[in-house]
Structure formats: C-alpha cells, structure tokens
Amino acid sequence: MARLALCVLTLLVAGALSSPERSNVSPKIADPVFLQRQVDLMILFFHLHEPNHLQSWKQICDTWTPEKNIEHFSNVTAVTTFIEMLEHKWVLPRAVPFSVLESEHKFEAVTLYNVLYSAKDYDTFYKAAVYFRERVNENLFAYVLGVVIVNRPDTKGIYIPRLHEVFPSFYNNGEILTTAQRINTHGHRLVESYPSTYKWDNNVVIRWNDTIWPYSNNHITPVVYFTNDIGLNTFYYNYHLAQPSWLHSEVLPLNKERRGEWFWFVHSQIVARYYMERLSNGLGEIPELGHEIVKEGHNPGLLYHNGIAFPVRPDYYHLDRPVLVQALQKIDDYERRVRDAIEQGYVLNHLGERIDICTPEAIEILGNLIEANTESPNPKYYNDFISLWKKVLGNSIVHEKQYHHHVVPLVVPSVLEHYQTALRDPAFYMIWKRVLGLFKLWQEKLPPYKREELALPQVAIEQVDVDKLVTFFEYNYFNVSSYLHMNEEEAKELYDQVSVVVQHPRLNHKKYKVRVHVKSEVAKTVLVKFFLAPKYDSHGNEIPLHVNTHNFMQIDEFVHDLPAGETVITRESVDTSKVWDTANNVYYAFEKSLQGDKQFNMEQLENMESLVQHLMLPKGRVGGMPFVLMVYISDYRAPKVHREPSNVAKVSLGLTIVAQQLTDDPLGFPVNRPLYPWQVEGVKNLYLQDVLIYHKHTPEIVVPHME
C-alpha cells in the first residue's frame, strides 16, 4: 500500500502548540465492522491506474450490476442517468486528465457521487464502488469516492489515503518518475548505477531536490520548498474534498453554517503564510495581477500518468491576446458585479431581491458568492471568476468535445486547475491577492472594532516570553510505488515487491515554548490566540498595524481556565520530528486487529494526523528576521451550534482545525478587520511582541534561499 500521511498547514491547526495538561480519556477501540470497512475502502485506492485485481472484486463485477439493484438506491434518477452515460460512452475515459473545474467532468463526478451516496446500505455502496472503479476515470473515481466517504454516515471516520500516495505524479516531476520506472523494471540490481538512488532497508530511495532542478524556468526557486510542499498541497486538496463547491451545505459533515467564512479564512491564511516566505527570501511583494503581462512563468515539470506534460506558462506571458479576450471580459464582468455589490451594500438573489451585506455576519454570504458555490444567492449572475483566472493563467489546453460523440472535451489542465497542485504556481497567490482585495474592500466598510469590543476588563497580559525560534531544512520521504504498474505476482498478492521512496527537503523548526504572563482579577474561562506577521515589508519599511492586519497568520487557538491572580500560560510547540507511517503499516495494523491479534486504538490515527506543523514558522534569516507575535485573550464564547470534534475532518482528511469550532467569534478575530493603534492602545489583553526567526543551515541539504 502507499504511504498515508498528510501534513496540514499549521496556520490552520487549532492547538498547533501543545498544552502540558493531558486529560485521561478512555481509549477508543475500533470495532470489527469499522475495521473491515476501513480495510475494504483503503484497498479501493490501491494502484488505481490498474484494473480490478482482487478475485472478490471480479466476482462482484461479474454478478452485480446497478440496474439489477436499483431498488437499493434512493436516487434512482442519478443511477439511471449514470448507467445511460456508461452505455453511450459519455464518460471521461480512463488514463486521461480529469479536472473538477471542467463543467462536463464535474457533471459526471456529481452524478457518480449521487449514485454512491444514495446507496441505502453499506453493502450496496461498497459493491457499487467496486463496480465503477474500473469503469470510470481513475482520478475522477478517487475524488468522488473521497467525498462520498466523508459524507456517508456509515463511513464517517474512515481514513482516506492521502492523494500524494494514490497519485504520486501530481507531486513528483517526470524525471523522478522515470527513474522510479527504471527501478521497477530492473529491481535492486542496478540501483548503484543511478547517481540519484540508494538502498535503505528494503526500499530504493531517489534523492531529489526540486528546488535546484536545472530544467525549471522558475525565477522564484527560493520558495519552491514551500509552494511544492507535499503536505501543504495535499491539505488544500483535502479542504476542497471536505467542502466541494458543488455540494449543498445540508449534507456537509462540518461547519456548514460558516462555509463562506471558512472559504475566506483558509485562503487569507495561505496567502499570508506565502507572503512571509517571500519576505524571508528577499522576493518582495506578491505581484499585482492585471490584464497585460504576467512576468513570472511556471514550468512544473509534472507529467500526467499517460505521459502528457502539464502545460507551461512562459515568462512574460501576454494576456492581451485575441484567444483570451472573451475569458478576460467575463472575468471583468463577474468581478465588477461583486465590487458593485460591496459598494452598494447588497447583493441580488436569483429573484432579484436585495440581500443586505453591511453586517459582519455577511462574510458568509460574500464567501459563498465569490466561490460561486451551491449556497450562493445567485451563482449564475455572480459567477466563478476564480476558475476562469486559473484557466487563463494556466495556459491550459482544451480540445473541445473530442470524446464519444463530441460530448466530452479532452483537456490538459494546468497545475492551477487541480486543487492538489494549485499552490505550486506563483500565479495562484496573485489570483488570491486580487480576490482577497474584494474581501478587504468589504471589511473596510464595516465599522472599526470599538475598544470595549476588544478589551477584556480585569485581565492584563504583562509579558510574553518566547524561546529562540530556529528553522532548518530536513529530509522527508514519500512512497511512489503506487505509480508503478504491478507484475503478475504483485497483482495476485496485491503487494509491491519493489518499494520506491523519494527523498524531499522540507522546512521544519526546533521545538519552542511561549510563556504568557497574565494578571487577572477574577477566575474565568478565556480564549487565547497567537498570531504572527512580518514586521517590515520588502522595502525595509515597518508595516503599520492597520496595513499589517491582513498579514497576520493565526498559529494557535485554545480555551484556558484562567485563575485569579498572576499566572503563566505556557504553550509548547509539538514534536514535528515524527516519521510518518506508511500505508503498509497502517493497513496491516487494521488487518491484525481484524484478525484479533491486537486491538486498534483510534487515537493512533488522530495522533499521526497532527499535520503540517513543520510549516508553522516562516524560514526567517540566518542572522534573524523580525516578526510580530500578537497574543490576544478574550472571553470564551461557546459556538452557537455545538458539535463534537469530527473524526471526518481529523482522521479522514487530517483537517484538525475544521474539525473543531472552539468559539462563536468570527474567524481571525480581532484581525478580521483593520486594527489601528488608537483602537488597541490601553487594551491590556492584547500584546504585541517583537520576535526574531533564525534559520540554521543544514550543510548536506542544498536549498537556494536568502541568507
């Protein structure tokens, strides 16, 4: 099986720092039914490029059809529609690129989702999944199956293999995978002949460092370690797996009431984190996106599984070309409609009725509107201009209606058109800087927070002490064996005889503690937040607080019982040096439990999924780089809709923060609106502390960066 771990962006991990207190909780032991389902569904993701190898799968496909079992589905229309699509070959073929942003592809994906989700029992769902596994495009199948597992009540908490191990070609360039194919052909006997490979136990390791790949034309190579980070990109894919824009909120398992707000918050945090990495490497401001020339090209070096290269955007890419005129005109129209709505203070729903957006709660409406998701009040009028930008800047290739009676287009999407690769392209951050400008325009029209809204009487932060903050590069390893085709013996045993892993450099940091000295006149339950922002811009000028507000990245949030008197709140960064477990180990742990050899404690999965904490801190500089740490303590306000932390988010997808809504406060509060010095002056529960982040060289790892 493929390795399973996912790093999740620490800026979105509530509890990214650990508290010394530990609660004694009884272990959660997985029951046999759950274990069997976990094993069954994990195997469905194994070597998805290949046909069904298991004899039990072949038997299902020979004896079971959806037509003969249509009474076991609640959505009969979806089943009959998909059967007709298969019969007439109106579906996307296997082994060609799939993008959910392509309308015909999305229609097929949504229809298949409705089929699988509407299965009345688990047995029907599983047989339908096996049946469709080799009949539909493998990338589409993995995407749909993931969304179904997240949402079906009888599969909640099932661990979904991470996409970087299901489809390694999205995360490793063509040269890596060509080397892996050679190893798969020759086995271990020629490993020493390749300059980039060596043996490690029973694995063959490919040394790789795409930050110095000579075939890349990227001028922002110094931040490739961040933009290409496999955990970061897998996080972004999994976020959209949990919140697909085409799925109605009533069936979403988490945070359905704040869907639009999360859309804004997730992207604002990613862009803020990227900006700090640019500053750490002397790259300056994120370029503005206009309609003339995009200076920064992008050559991902990735290949689709069928050998077709991902599209390349050359340097000095001209947008003022006839072929792009229509798309750019649509973008202008859609953006203008959103901007007009913000200026006017209302949006129009599909009936032409006005909906007020002048209140803080309207962030939900605005987020849904800009994403153009199913909760948008008028998705046809306020259309999806973000996806249009991605098609324009990705330089993607579309051969209209090439497949099956001119129904399905053949597309070669760019990295921007896949959630699992979009963060690799610097144009992603240019697009989102522009989009966040719309949110910022709306935020500036809200009244500034009053001092009494920010203050917490009787509580004062007297001092904040932070250990020395040090970052460094280390090697991390990812298995790519699922990319390699199995021989007859491997297919029979469903086991990879040759295990190939790729060695990638990644940014990490040393453990540290934050100590907050607090004086409180009363005992009370409070919410504590930590934010981090750059102190100076790319020109060396100190960034004013009201300008810097949108640059603050939330790195921690926790509830704390504050005693009366003086106390010290201590938070320690979690251990980020754990080696991620392999899918083989996880899979066989489930199997052993199923056979009665050993009980499986569900906390094993939750602990493994502590996620992208290696990206908590920006790289900084060798001599130290100034940042601002904001500590904010507020009254604890319980969320209006209480939910237990969801295994769907924590285990299935590794999205810890999305699993738990700690407070009813707006996301990012109090930096979700511009903050001015006059607002925070005298607010004793808000403390700004200058910190330095140092970078320590790892001599054996060469990663270009600013000293």
SS (H, E, C) 76-104: HHHHHHHHHHHHCCCCCCCCCCCCCCCHH
Structural domain includes residue 329: yes
What stretch of H or E contains 689? strand 686-695
Residues of the chain below pLDDT 70: 1-27, 211-212, 216-220, 252-256, 399-406, 575-585, 601-611, 641-661, 704-707
**Tokens read off for 453:** 């809204």
Query: Cβ distance 401 to 350 under 8 Å?
Result: no
CA dihedral 421, 426, 431, 435 (to 10 degrees): 90
Using DSSP's 3-state secondary structure scheme, residue 552 falls into coil
Contact 653, 659 (CB under 8 A): no
N- to C-terminal Cα separation, the chain? 40
Name the 3-class secondary structure at 49.
Answer: coil
Q: What is the pTM of this model?
A: 0.92
Integer angstrom CA distances of residue 609 from 15, 253, 650:
13, 19, 7
* 465 part of a folded domain: no
Residue 647 lies in a domain: no
pLDDT recorded at residue 399 = 67
User: Is 38 domain-assigned?
Assistant: no
- Residue 167, C-beta contacts closer than 8 angstroms, at least 6 positions apart: 48, 139, 142, 305, 420, 482, 483
**Predicted pLDDT at 313:** 95
The whole-number pLDDT of residue 404 equals 60
Element containing residue 355 per DSSP (H, E) = strand 354-356
**Residue 372 forms part of a structural domain:** yes
The C-alpha angle 49, 54, 58, rounded to 5 degrees, equals 95
- As a whole number of angstroms, the distance between CA 553 and CA 268 comes to 8
User: What is the rounded distance in angstroms from the CA atom of residue 303 to the CA atom of residue 323?
Assistant: 25
Provide the 3-class DSSP secondary structure of residue 71.
Answer: helix
**Residue at 85 is within a domain:** no
347: β partners:
355
Widest distance between CA atoms in the chain = 76
Backbone φ and ψ of 615, nearest 5°: -105, 15
What burial class does residue 491 get, using C-beta atoms within 10 Å of its C-beta: 0-12 exposed, 13-18 middle, 19+ buried?
middle
Where residue 427 sits, what CATH number does that domain have? 1.10.1280.10
pLDDT of residue 17: 53
Closest CA to 687 of 521, 459, 525, 523: 459
At residue 14, the pLDDT reads 38
Domain that holds residue 295: 221-444
Render pLDDT for 328-347 as a digit per residue (tens, 0 to 9).
Answer: 999 999 999 999 999 999 99
Q: Examine residue 469 and state whether it is found in any structural domain, yes or no.
A: no
- Inside any domain, residue 86: no
Q: What total number of domains does the chain contain?
A: 1
